[in-house]
A and B are shown apart, each in its own frame.
Chain A
């Protein structure tokens, strides 16, 4: 297919662009296969380059022959284009609609994007599964390649960490007893006390209470002698009960006597999608009273979801660090709420995950390799009118939770809020291939490492990274326990109110903060240098070196 077929009018002059809190721009609108570009050919005005894949929904309006297209983006921005000429406007609108909803992954921009920078460190090789998990391994755990051809579990990577005492045949049997073949694998090893966190899909007990000896053996093999563990089921007990009717279920205490099950209610994806739509609608409603705003914010339930996820992650961390118990986390598929919990728990427990590199590694390991279906979940954002099927802001909620912890511990993270916003944007629309596909198998098939550029290749260049580093960072090796009181969990303004306020004041304040810290560092090195000079003077060496 040629993109040209979809572009009936590639260029319109005299288009006026309205963006929130920016001056309007008049210029030429150009459509390319992947971008909507508005250029004014004037100095000092910012051009608009918008990826079609970032467009969530468009609305058309006409007043006489002047058409208006309202473009609603997946990053929640809303812009308006006034286009002279009804035909031009209609053509542009239908092109945008077609180009922003391309079915084929291989037509996506990352396959066409050529980096304008030199790739120093290839992001595709930065976090290889074997390297990531090797660091976790002890004499109790091993890497298994039972899933080498993705035959045992289509959504797992080729290498997974499992108990040493369990062989590959057992794993194959366990896989048949777990939803989507997602047998329990190691997610995190707590060095301090050797306790572990594992994740899996739900057990397929069904209404008959089916058992699987191998599953019981595997799960028990992860416990040290005399130790007990907790199974954290991310579904409410009644939801887990209902799952039995569809062949799913949960671990019966009788079959897993050393484990205690805890149910926590984290909502499933369609409910989360609705929540996001309502929240964004509330945030964009400019003409409302205080009461209306608060009741809409409440009705969206977004903050409730945030609280549930943070609380469950803290619970998992508490079991591991405080109770000295191992933990198995699962919900239904084990690809959504499960990953929210396991990844956030690691942020709380493991200082490495709070570094720039460590956090990228966490996203790679607990989200991309672990088979969170990014392509399905991030196909549409908050504005889309089409009925959501598999779309859900699962990853955005995770980022929101990380932001909550970061806000409570502003000196404990090496990266800043901008980095979290960046990941949100790129998960939904990107020139990089990192978030394409739904799992490792699909990515391999798409040959992403050969055909696209990794987001990490770009982010880790020193000149880019600088923007994402937290100037306040002071490494601490401690477990950080956030408050989960509703008063302590704020609306993430950096994402949800980003486009309905002027960011000028906040940006300038941030710059000033950076300046204060940079200045201090400069002074410290100056003082140290002076002292060194004086010390040299004292020993007499200085006489020779000082001009």
Chain B
């Protein structure tokens, strides 16, 4: 039978979109499935590393003449198609993978064995990088109207909330506890963002257990307290991010939405973002569409439409714009909820804050935003990202959608974000990799129980250590100061399919030269040149004075004339394997080739000069360093 660290030779890796294939050896380790191309020199051999946690499905297709096909789909949208010569090997691989990719307990996850050679102190520093109480201080909380509460210090009021929460000063503990009993999963209204300039607050919660007529005085008091905490507005908005029909249906189950008659001075608003099941199906349809070979423009556009993906993305951005306008333009406080308040609510609150506050558009600020609105407020990453072998109906690309929305904004505002799309893609990679502790589990409580801070590492310090790879060279902090609030267009034509995310591993789809990479390299070269110029000036000044006074030989300290500095090469997270250990320096790839693109099948009596399967690099192929 098949053992770990075993290998299968003569495996073919088929390209998803062309007739190209590569032959090599497949290795199976405790954490990775690795394909190494054979027959070429080791430096240029193609390597594919797939983390077991990234695999979402393994399929054994029916036997062909060349062997047994194995189709592997990954959560980072990679699709690999192997053909294993012997069926028996294929079956062994298949069953081993099935066992490996369905961990049943958290301690089986990669994060618990991953060791980046840091000592305990470095690890601890990594976890201390993001401090949410400092973040609330940055917003100006606590203040005269808002304060910290220890009501949830034992996770007794709400086990999916963090320990540290901020509520209106006027909301006493009994009111909070009463309100929490009237809210689904105990998720009572709590502060998530404070817009200091207008003293307007963004609060979040879950749906009220109102049914058809139930009331809760504490909950009504709670909302009143939120409203009173804002002296600039007589009313607050209550945004129910669900479609009205869904909210109505929930009433029959004793849940529902706020009755405007029972709450004084609220303005109630449905937003119409669909639920996790619709989103899951939408992404699945989208991936089916764009995964088709020889896709026509018609099928692509109609498929894009029928998948509904961009419609959902637009709905989320629309909701965030509504939130941002209510807070910044009207100065009103807003309470956001959906059903349980951990999916759509997280999307809208975090995206809204991103529009309002330039800090969240910096590298560090974006980490803080994710820590706050997603991780601490209990977005169920374990369930949504299928970290353990769980209920497939709980899986949904809610966080992916958030990243997609951020990317859409970055396309409209190329200078507003300190980070580039590589940063978003890398975060997405690690939400699923289970390599770092940040995204494991469903709540802070679970994370504490598992002692993640002691046993795993934080993603954020790792990302900051290679920050230069994720920077947006066009970012302008000055611009953010001038126009802090983003007001994106919501015309449908400004929403686009994010090729670099969903085709991250389909190299033939990418622009052949990356503008971003080029600019980063130029900027890095400028830094080096600045330093050189500085040194030369220093040497020059010294030499001049020396020369003027005493004649000495300068040959030892005078650099030779050199050609201009070559641009430094950069590791390329987009084309790398998404593993930190492998972001190794320089790699040369084919920029493009006619064979990869299959413009037409040239066959026939004399078109039979079949193209070689692998095109040599010198042969009419744009080469570039990546």
- Could you tell me which A residues sit within 8 Å of B by CB distance? 192, 228, 230, 260, 262, 264, 282-283, 286, 288-295, 297-298, 301, 303-304, 306-307, 311-312, 314-315, 317-319, 321-323, 407-412, 472, 476, 478-491, 497, 500-501, 505-506, 508-509, 512-513, 516-517, 519-520, 523-524, 526-528, 530-535, 537-538, 542-543, 546
In the complex, are the beta carbons of A479 and B305 less than 8 A apart? no
In the complex, are the beta carbons of A410 and B513 less than 8 A apart? yes
Q: Which of B497-539 contact A (CB under 8 A)?
A: 497, 499, 503, 508-515, 518-519, 522-523, 525-526, 529-530, 532-533, 536-537, 539
Interface size class of B (residues with CB under 8 A): 35 or more
A297 to B310, CA, bound (A): 14
In the complex, are the beta carbons of B611 and A322 less than 8 A apart? yes
Within 8 Å CB of B493, what residues of A? 282-283, 293, 297, 491, 497, 500
Q: Which of B295, B305, B559 has the most CB of A within 10 A?
A: B305
A141 CB → nearest B CB, Å: 23
Closest to A288 in B: B492
Within 8 Å CB of B298, what residues of A? 298, 301, 304
A484 to B311, CA, bound (A): 25
In the complex, are the beta carbons of B620 and A321 less than 8 A apart? yes
- Asked if B114 is at the interface of the complex by the 8 Å CB criterion, the answer is no
Within 8 Å CB of B491, what residues of A? 286, 293, 500-501
A279 CB → nearest B CB, Å: 11
Closest to B521 in A: A520
In the complex, are the beta carbons of B290 and A487 less than 8 A apart? yes
In the complex, are the beta carbons of A501 and B494 less than 8 A apart? yes
Within 8 Å CB of A317, what residues of B? 594
- Asked if B415 is at the interface of the complex by the 8 Å CB criterion, the answer is yes
In the complex, are the beta carbons of A483 and B302 less than 8 A apart? no
A479 to B593, CA, bound (A): 9
Within 8 Å CB of A319, what residues of B? 602
- Asked if B597 is at the interface of the complex by the 8 Å CB criterion, the answer is yes
B241 CB → nearest A CB, Å: 17
10 closest A-B pairs by beta carbon, nearest first, are: A293-B492, A486-B300, A298-B301, A509-B414, A294-B305, A523-B529, A530-B536, A481-B592, A290-B311, A314-B599
Q: Which of B492, B564, B595 has the most CB of A within 10 A?
A: B492
Known: A288-B492, A321-B620, A531-B536. A546 touches B592 (CB 8 A): no
Known: A318-B599, A408-B512, A516-B519. A538 touches B555 (CB 8 A): yes
In the complex, are the beta carbons of B473 and A482 less than 8 A apart? no
Within 8 Å CB of A481, what residues of B? 512, 592-594, 596-597, 621-622
B202 CB → nearest A CB, Å: 25
Q: Which of B509, B559, B565, B600 has the most CB of A within 10 A?
A: B600
Within 8 Å CB of A301, what residues of B? 297-298
In the complex, are the beta carbons of A412 and B509 less than 8 A apart? no
Q: Which of B489, B492, B522, B620 contacts A517 (CB 8 A)?
A: B522
B527 CB → nearest A CB, Å: 9
- Asked if B605 is at the interface of the complex by the 8 Å CB criterion, the answer is yes
Q: Which of B296-322 contact A (CB under 8 A)?
A: 296-302, 304-305, 308, 310-311, 314
Within 8 Å CB of A501, what residues of B? 489, 491, 494
In the complex, are the beta carbons of B536 and A322 less than 8 A apart? no
Q: Which of B33-41, B176-184, B540-548 lies at the interface with chain A?
A: B540-548
- Asked if B623 is at the interface of the complex by the 8 Å CB criterion, the answer is yes
In the complex, are the beta carbons of A408 and B511 less than 8 A apart? yes
* CB-defined A-B contacts under 8 Å, sample of 25: A264-B600, A288-B492, A293-B492, A294-B301, A295-B301, A312-B599, A323-B609, A408-B592, A410-B513, A412-B513, A481-B593, A481-B594, A481-B597, A481-B622, A482-B592, A485-B509, A489-B297, A505-B413, A512-B415, A523-B526, A523-B529, A524-B564, A527-B564, A537-B540, A543-B547
B243 CB → nearest A CB, Å: 14
In the complex, are the beta carbons of A537 and B547 less than 8 A apart? yes
In the complex, are the beta carbons of B620 and A479 less than 8 A apart? yes
- Asked if B496 is at the interface of the complex by the 8 Å CB criterion, the answer is yes
A192 to B618, CA, bound (A): 13
A282 to B295, CA, bound (A): 23
Contacts beyond the supplied A262-B600, A485-B508: 16 A-B pairs with Cβ under 8 Å: A290-B305, A291-B305, A291-B308, A295-B305, A481-B621, A487-B499, A490-B496, A491-B493, A500-B491, A516-B519, A531-B560, A534-B540, A534-B559, A537-B543, A537-B554, A538-B554
Closest to A292 in B: B492
In the complex, are the beta carbons of A321 and B492 less than 8 A apart? no
Question: Looking at chain A's contact residues, is the secondary structure mostly helix, strand, loop, or mixed?
Answer: helix
Within 8 Å CB of A491, what residues of B? 493
Within 8 Å CB of B523, what residues of A? 516, 520
- Asked if B585 is at the interface of the complex by the 8 Å CB criterion, the answer is no
A311 to B561, CA, bound (A): 48
Q: Which of A260, A318, A538 contacts B606 (CB 8 A)?
A: A260
A505 to B483, CA, bound (A): 11
- Asked if B607 is at the interface of the complex by the 8 Å CB criterion, the answer is yes
A408 to B513, CA, bound (A): 6
In the complex, are the beta carbons of A228 and B606 less than 8 A apart? yes
Q: Which of A286, A482, A500, A516 has the most CB of B within 10 A?
A: A516
A412 to B621, CA, bound (A): 13
A303 to B414, CA, bound (A): 25
In the complex, are the beta carbons of B609 and A487 less than 8 A apart? no
In the complex, are the beta carbons of A508 and B415 less than 8 A apart? yes
Within 8 Å CB of B540, what residues of A? 530, 533-534, 537
- Asked if B139 is at the interface of the complex by the 8 Å CB criterion, the answer is no
A340 CB → nearest B CB, Å: 15
B1 CB → nearest A CB, Å: 41
Within 8 Å CB of A535, what residues of B? 558, 560-561
- Asked if B122 is at the interface of the complex by the 8 Å CB criterion, the answer is no
A302 CB → nearest B CB, Å: 9
- Asked if B412 is at the interface of the complex by the 8 Å CB criterion, the answer is yes
- Asked if B174 is at the interface of the complex by the 8 Å CB criterion, the answer is no
Q: Which of A317, A481, A538 has the most CB of B within 10 A?
A: A481
A295 to B310, CA, bound (A): 13
A314 to B598, CA, bound (A): 9
Closest to B515 in A: A410
B354 CB → nearest A CB, Å: 16
A484 to B17, CA, bound (A): 11
